[in-house]
Amino acid sequence: MEESKERLQYLLKEAPVSTALLTGPDLIVELANDATLKLWGKDASIIGKRLLDAMPELTGQAAYQAVTEVYRTGQGYEGRENKVYLQEADGTTRVVYANFMAKALRAADGTIRSVLLMGYEVTDQVEARKKVAEAEEKAQQAIRLANESSQRVLRESEERFRTLITETSMVGSALYTGPEIRIRYANDVMLKFWDKDKSITGKPIEEAIPELKGQPFIDRLKAVYTTGQTYEGREDRAQLFEDGKLRDFYFNYTYKALRNTEGVIYGIHHMAVDVTDSVLAKKELIENERNFRALINETPAAIIIVKDENFTIEIVNDAYLEWTGSAREDYLGKPLWQVLIDGHTPELEAALAHAMQTGLPHNIKEIPLRLKRRGVLQSIFVDLAYAPINDPDTEDNRVMIMILDVNDRVTARKKLEEARDYLQSILESLPQMAWTTNPAGEATYFNEQWYHYTGQRPHDGEGNGWLAVVHPDDVAGYLAEWNTSIQLHHPFKYEARYKKNWGEYRWHLTQGVPIFNAHHELTMWVGTCTDVHDQKIFQESLESKIEERTRDLKRSNIELQQFAYVASHDLQEPLRKIATFSEMLRSALGTVPERADSYLAKITAASTRMQALIKSILNFSQLAREGEIFTAVDLNEIVANVHNDFELLIEQKKATVRVDPLPVIRGIPLQLNQLFTNLMSNALKFVATDRPPLIHIHARTLAETEVRTHPEIDPGRPYVQLEFADNGIGFSEEYAEQIFVIFQRLNDRQSYPGTGIGLALCKKIVMNHKGEIYAHSTPGQGSTFYIILPITQ
């Protein structure tokens, strides 16, 4: 509807007739189109000025007084051939004749807001008519003189007549004689109309102006010469040359027979006025009317235009016909309320009549209208606009009725209002503060708990008024997080301090969720503010204690690592001495009793196991050291080195080791070497007795979806999964986690010697690399260890 108004305003501004809009009691020039500026002899700088400031020469003139009277009384004015004196830029005065109408435009409350002027200049027509009248009078005088005397007097009269018509400056005049219509005289104006010179004098008109052949003018001249009946033409089209090109002109003209003293026709008097500009202006007005109708027809809003006191339908556009599923012939020429009988109400008819009589627009929003659409009587919500259309050339007024179907919007809004009322009733029942906002994040509602806590008055918190209760130190962070949620349509969560009505600030957890409609369009936000002050204080206290204990634990760990490192070094020396002196004792005694030899063997074995255990503890403690450098590690080289270390044992066990291509990752080379050493040792230790050992090492890159199934690792990194499989004795799945605990053993030490630290060491290495290790096994069939390591650190 707004677009249609803008296009109509544009059409009005581009109209060929002079159009101006004068606003307020001072008649401020609000609008003046190009035709107006040209008529007034002004430029666009007068826009925004008082009319008398822009054109002081209008003071006291009748035209200006007529305009001021229209503004004062509200009664329209229509004047013909108004004489106006206009001042030129050089100070000279120009006399202008104009036809114009002035109509008061009112605001919605009925007060007069401005005056609309529409008109066009008729100076040329007025001057031409005066010249014609003068020339006609002079011609009649000459003819009367001719009738009073002899042929000599007639020749004198004709000479005087030729002088008269030559002096006419705006009216074309010519004298033809004889049945061949020979040109005896033609004034300069007529010669200019024909685009000829005086050399055509004495020639028949068909020979002098050959372009008239095929046009009706020569036949009309001959008919006047034959019958003596005067012929008058109005706005007749003539094709004449101008600057060597044939073009269309329009003339008002007369052919009048001339008689001698005996009453015999001897010639024709031809007088003509060029009205081309006026005709073209009319044609343009007609074209504008046609364009106006086309514009109405193309407008997407449903439109009906009615006229007269019966509201007879003059125009109904395609949008209305498509909207109702009806035919144009069912509407045109019929009274509006006869066609829309189901939608007739006294209120609608009264509003339409008021718009027709006063020229004031009237808008009705979201009114239920009953009408038939595609044969079915329906009641739908519409926006109605009555827009009066005033015709400056007639006293008939019309009203354009624009109908906008807003049924879906109203129905959706009513449903939304019902849903909001229901939502607000729920929010009012909550123990914590609750709120809603529009899609832009501006608060639209707070429940009673909000106003009770903050002390704000109802509606004070709406818009951005709620910021007044947020602690100043929390506002910037709060708004940054809130604006991010609004832009991304993500749920909002933030902790901030809110001022209680007596000034105390308490911590609250504010949470909000976006609400979408069926088209996934954001319609509102709903949220709550929960008091978490006590929990916040307790949490801060708890975090402080945790941080303090973490520092104590780190300090204890460092001391423990130092102790383990020192202890392992200090314990190894006595163990070496025990082993050495046991061998020296065996050598010194020579042959010893079997029982004593058994004791010495047990001492040696115990010291050896103790040395291995201390070495493992030393290795385990060293893994906790920080500052290790990660470098690119080719796992193929690591496995190859480990294979070489176990080459003899592999041959002894008749084992088969298959290694698929492995990746290059970022890691600590020494630790990764230790990882594969422990896994290889494990696989060669726990072999089945009924089949040769088979070890298979495989690697693959994990997909993002697989990475997310492991909550212990960072989902934002790429990972590789190493699979270390064997066909050994296996273990029960219930021990899948226990095997990675330090000193935990599933088998007896006599059958499978070891310290119980190897797999714990593997887990420590993998954790140092921010990865994960786990195992699956079936007793009697073998085990598979899965090692997940990040490709980059």
CA distance 608 to 615: 11
pLDDT tens-place string over residues 152-190: 444 544 454 444 444 445 688 899 999 999 999 899 889
pLDDT tens-place string over residues 98-108: 888 888 888 76
Fold (topology level) of 299-405: Beta-Lactamase (3.30.450)
How far separated are the first and last CA of the chain, in Å rounded?
62
Are residues 176 and 194 in contact, defined by beta-carbon separation less than 8 angstroms? no
Please state the rounded mean pLDDT for residues 420-438: 87
In CATH, what class is 2-120?
alpha beta
Residue that has been written with the tokens 């036809």 in this structure: 99
Measure Cα distances from 170 to 10, 217, 244, 271 in Å: 36, 21, 22, 11
- Sign of the dihedral defined by the CA atoms of residues 439, 441, 444, 447, in that order: positive
| The pLDDT of residue 609 is above 70 | no
Dihedral angle of Cα 433, 434, 439, 442, to the nearest 10 degrees: -40
pLDDT tens-place string over residues 235-294: 899 999 998 899 999 999 999 999 988 889 999 999 898 888 888 877 876 776 676 676
| The pLDDT of residue 2 is above 90 | no
Are residues 176 and 205 in contact, defined by beta-carbon separation less than 8 angstroms? yes
**Long-range CB contact pairs, 27-35, < 8 A, 24+:** 27/51, 27/52, 27/67, 27/68, 27/71, 27/115, 29/54, 30/114, 35/120
- Sign of the dihedral defined by the CA atoms of residues 698, 704, 709, 715, in that order: positive
- What is the per-residue pLDDT for 454? 93
Longest CA–CA span in the chain (Å) reads: 191
| Percent of the chain whose pLDDT exceeds 70 | 83
Please state the rounded mean pLDDT for residues 346-361: 85
| The pLDDT of residue 620 is above 50 | yes
pLDDT tens-place string over residues 107-133: 767 788 888 887 878 787 777 677 666
Radius of gyration from C-alpha coordinates of the chain: 54
3-state SS, 416-456, equals: HHHHHHHHHHHHHCCCCEEEEECCCCCEEEECHHHHHHHCC
In which band, very low, low, confident or very high, does the pLDDT at 416 lie, cut at 50, 70 and 90?
A: confident
| Percent of the chain whose pLDDT exceeds 90 | 37
259 φ/ψ angles, rounded to the nearest 5 degrees: -120, 155
Tokens of 166: 């030559």
In which band, very low, low, confident or very high, does the pLDDT at 466 lie, cut at 50, 70 and 90?
A: very high
Q: Provide CB contacts within 8 A for 263, sequence distance 6+.
A: none
| The pLDDT of residue 748 is above 70 | no
Residue that has been written with the tokens 């109209």 in this structure: 15
Burial code of 493-519, b = ≥16 C-beta within 10 A, e = fewer?
ebebbbbeeeeebbbbbbbbbbeeeee
Fold (topology level) of 538-621: Helix Hairpins (1.10.287)
Report the DSSP beta bridge partners of residue 348. none
Please state the rounded mean pLDDT for residues 350-379: 86
Are residues 679 and 728 in contact, defined by beta-carbon separation less than 8 angstroms? no
Highest average pLDDT, of 50-54, 587-591, 602-606, comes from 50-54
In CATH, what class is 411-531?
alpha beta
CA atoms within 13 A of residue 611's CA, in its CB half-sphere: 15
- What is the per-residue pLDDT for 342? 80
CA distance 111 to 13: 25
226 φ/ψ angles, rounded to the nearest 5 degrees: -80, -45
Nearest residue to 496 (alpha-carbon basis) of 531, 461, 540: 531
CA distance 502 to 536: 21
CA distance 6 to 394: 25
The better pLDDT of the pair 748, 84 is held by 84
Please state the rounded mean pLDDT for residues 658-662: 96
- What is the per-residue pLDDT for 328? 87
| The pLDDT of residue 624 is above 70 | no
338 φ/ψ angles, rounded to the nearest 5 degrees: -75, -35
| Mean pLDDT of the residues in the chain | 83
Report the DSSP beta bridge partners of residue 85. 95
Nearest residue to 6 (alpha-carbon basis) of 287, 306, 295, 285: 295
Please state the rounded mean pLDDT for residues 208-235: 93
CA distance 119 to 20: 9
CA distance 66 to 72: 10
Nearest residue to 7 (alpha-carbon basis) of 307, 422, 297: 297
In which band, very low, low, confident or very high, does the pLDDT at 149 lie, cut at 50, 70 and 90?
A: very low
3-state SS, 155-175, equals: HHHHHHHHHHHHHCCCCEEEE
Using CB atoms within 10 Å of the CB of residue 252, give its burial: 0 to 12 exposed, 13 to 18 middle, 19+ buried: buried
pLDDT tens-place string over residues 33-42: 888 888 888 8
pLDDT tens-place string over residues 519-550: 889 989 999 999 999 888 888 888 888 888 87
In CATH, what class is 627-790?
alpha beta
- What is the per-residue pLDDT for 694? 95
Residue that has been written with the tokens 């005033």 in this structure: 390
- What is the per-residue pLDDT for 151? 43
- What is the per-residue pLDDT for 8? 42
Measure Cα distances from 684 to 185, 648, 756, 761, 766 in Å: 136, 11, 15, 17, 21
- What is the per-residue pLDDT for 414? 85
Q: Helix, strand or coil for residue 367?
A: strand
The better pLDDT of the pair 578, 783 is held by 783
In which band, very low, low, confident or very high, does the pLDDT at 566 lie, cut at 50, 70 and 90?
A: low
User: Which residue intervals of the chain bear CATH 1.10.287.130?
Assistant: 538-621
DSSP structure string for 200-219 = GTTSBHHHH-GGGTTSTHHH
Architecture in CATH of 126-280: 2-Layer Sandwich (3.30)
In which band, very low, low, confident or very high, does the pLDDT at 744 lie, cut at 50, 70 and 90?
A: low
Q: Helix, strand or coil for residue 396?
A: coil
pTM of the model: 0.35
The C-alpha angle 499, 502, 504, rounded to 5 degrees, equals 45
User: Which residue intervals of the chain bear CATH 3.30.565.10?
Assistant: 627-790
pLDDT tens-place string over residues 661-711: 999 999 988 889 889 998 998 899 889 988 999 999 999 999 999 999 998
User: Which residue intervals of the chain bear CATH 3.30.450.20?
Assistant: 2-120, 126-280, 299-405, 411-531
CA distance 481 to 493: 8
Nearest residue to 522 (alpha-carbon basis) of 482, 486, 484, 478: 486
